[in-house]
Amino acid sequence: MSPSDPPADPGAHDEPTPTPEPQRHQEEREESPWAFWRSVLITLAVALGIRQFLLEARYIPSGSMLPGLQLQDRLLVEKLSFRQRPPRRGEVVVFRSPYHFDPILTGPTKPGALRCLLVNLPLIGSLPGIQQPACDAYIKRVIGLPGERVVADPRGRVSINGRPLDEPYVRNYCPVDRQGVGPCRTIDVVVPPGHLVVMGDNRANSWDARFWPGGPLLPESELIGRAFWRFFPFSSAGPLPEPSAPDR
Active site residue 79: no
Beta bridge partners of 145: none
* Residue of 79, 97, 140, 206 marked active site: 140
Is the bond preceding residue 233 a cis peptide, omega within 30 degrees? yes
Torsion over CA of 148, 154, 156 and 161, rounded to 10 degrees?
Answer: -20
What are the angstrom distances between the C-alpha of 49 and each of 21, 79, 145?
A: 41, 12, 30
Cα separation of 17 and 187, whole Å?
85
Q: How far apart are the first and last CA of the chain?
A: 105
Would you say how long the chain is, in residues? 248
Q: At residue 119, what are phi and psi to the nearest 5 degrees?
A: -60, -35
Contacts of 144 (CB under 8 A, 6+ apart): 89, 150, 158, 160, 189, 191, 196, 197
What are the angstrom distances between the C-alpha of 91 and each of 113, 115, 145, 185?
A: 25, 28, 11, 23
Active site residue 64: yes
* Residue of 32, 64, 81, 236 marked active site: 64
Three-class SS of residue 115? helix
Beta bridge partners of 172: 202
* Active site amino acids: 64, 140
